[in-house]
């Protein structure tokens, strides 16, 4: 549960990541390899990494992490690589053994998304790292506190995330709420291509909420939109009229479902995910996102 240091303000910008040197890509195109309206990330879950397992040394963890991510999940490498001089990276990985190390890449990419955002943003825009080709920049919008969803949320299966909505953290608004959904989705990508692989076909002995996080923040975003619609009509009008925020909403929804499609049957990546999914897809909740976007959504990476 870390938050990005604030960075801020204006319009949809598709940027080139300096550390990756890749071309611009319009958000409307969805993602690498995806057709119009689809998101299809550049992943290679079957790419061999046996050589890295055989030669793993904890002192060389950063080089190995970049190699692992580069082979299977390039977006993870692109968000981490520009920050190789940041000592905080070491706090987010387990280097005692190769299996634990690979399984901690989810956290590395999640937290790396936050630190990337805080280091690249400015008072001229709030940036959301999507992949090596795509960054979405929105206005820094002084919106109402996300704590206002506390009384609406069903916390029976989402209690782990309640701290995000209380105290000082609860005072943060739309930009940071979406940043958290984005970070959980980015980290989920690392779990989707790695987690559980080195514990056998059934992920024996491994349990993580990799699926829970992005689903939970999809649900919280739906509730935030409801509060905006019912209690803050001017805010709601702004959100639903701003193409950059709508791009973040739709892109993150599609990306989350792309990664969900990669982990079907991997129950060890879930704790409360099945119950949280019921909240996300409940018509009264999913309908808030559909109304804000002005479109009917499917439970997939294509709309």
- What is the predicted pLDDT for the residue at 268? 87
2 within some domain: no
What phi and psi, each to the nearest 5 degrees, are found at residue 291? -65, -40
Q: Under a CB-based contact definition with an 8 Å cutoff, are residues 249 and 178 in contact?
A: yes
Q: Under a CB-based contact definition with an 8 Å cutoff, are residues 174 and 245 in contact?
A: yes
208 within some domain: yes
19 within some domain: no
- What is the predicted pLDDT for the residue at 123? 60
Q: What percent of the chain has pLDDT over 70?
A: 83
Task: Please name the residues in contact with 199: beta carbons below 8 A apart, sequence gap of 6 or more.
Answer: 99, 205, 206
Give the separation between CA 165 and CA 145, rounded to whole angstroms: 8
Measured CA to CA in angstroms, residue 255 lies from 4, 198, 215, 268, 292 at distances of 21, 25, 11, 21, 18
- Would you state the structure tokens that stand for residue 25, as one six-digit string? 């890509």
Q: Under a CB-based contact definition with an 8 Å cutoff, are residues 199 and 205 in contact?
A: yes
- What is the predicted pLDDT for the residue at 204? 57
Structural domain boundaries enclosing 182: 27-293
pLDDT higher at 34 or 72: 72
Give the separation between CA 274 and CA 86, rounded to whole angstroms: 36
4 within some domain: no
106 within some domain: yes
8 within some domain: no
Q: Residue 77 — pLDDT band, cuts 50, 70, 90?
A: very high
Q: Under a CB-based contact definition with an 8 Å cutoff, are residues 185 and 214 in contact?
A: yes
- What is the predicted pLDDT for the residue at 118? 86
Convert the pLDDT of each residue in 151-185 to its tens digit. 999 999 999 999 999 999 999 999 999 999 999 99
Q: Dihedral through CA 283, CA 287, CA 289, CA 292, nearest 10?
A: -170
Domain count, the chain: 1
240 within some domain: yes
pTM, full prediction: 0.87
Q: Under a CB-based contact definition with an 8 Å cutoff, are residues 263 and 196 in contact?
A: no
Convert the pLDDT of each residue in 202-217 to its tens digit. 555 566 889 999 999 9
Helical H segments across 123-282, by residue range: 167-170, 174-194, 212-231, 233-241, 243-262, 273-281
82 within some domain: yes
Convert the pLDDT of each residue in 114-162 to its tens digit. 999 988 765 668 999 999 999 999 999 999 999 999 999 999 999 999 9
């Amino acid at each position: 549960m870390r938050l990005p240091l604030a960075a801020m303000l204006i319009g949809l910008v598709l940027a080139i990541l300096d550390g990756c040197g890749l071309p611009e890509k319009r958000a409307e195109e969805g993602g690498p390899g995806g057709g119009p309206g689809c998101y299809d990330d550049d992943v290679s879950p079957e790419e061999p990494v046996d050589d890295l397992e055989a030669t793993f040394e904890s002192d060389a963890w950063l080089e190995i992490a970049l190699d692992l991510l580069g082979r299977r999940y390039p977006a993870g490498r692109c968000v981490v690589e520009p920050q190789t001089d940041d000592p905080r990276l070491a706090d987010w990985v387990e280097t005692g053994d190769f299996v634990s190390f690979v399984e901690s890449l989810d956290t590395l990419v999640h937290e790396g998304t936050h630190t990337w955002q805080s280091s690249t943003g400015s008072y001229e825009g709030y940036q959301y790292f999507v992949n090596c080709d795509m960054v979405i920049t929105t206005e820094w919008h002084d919106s109402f506190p996300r704590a206002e969803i506390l009384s609406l949320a069903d916390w029976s299966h989402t209690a782990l995330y309640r701290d995000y909505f209380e105290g000082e953290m609860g005072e943060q608004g739309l930009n940071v709420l979406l940043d958290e959904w984005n970070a959980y989705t980015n980290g989920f990508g690392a779990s989707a291509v790695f987690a559980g692989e080195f514990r056998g076909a059934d992920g024996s002995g491994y349990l993580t909420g990799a699926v829970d996080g992005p689903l939970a923040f999809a649900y919280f975003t739906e509730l935030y939109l409801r509060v905006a619609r019912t209690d803050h009509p001017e805010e709601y009008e702004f959100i639903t009229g701003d193409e950059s925020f709508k791009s973040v909403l739709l892109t993150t929804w599609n990306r989350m479902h792309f990664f969900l499609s990669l982990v079907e049957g991997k129950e060890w990546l879930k704790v409360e995910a099945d119950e949280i999914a019921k909240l996300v897809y409940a018509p009264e909740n999913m309908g808030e996102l559909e109304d804000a976007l002005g479109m009917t959504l499917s439970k997939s990476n294509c709309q």
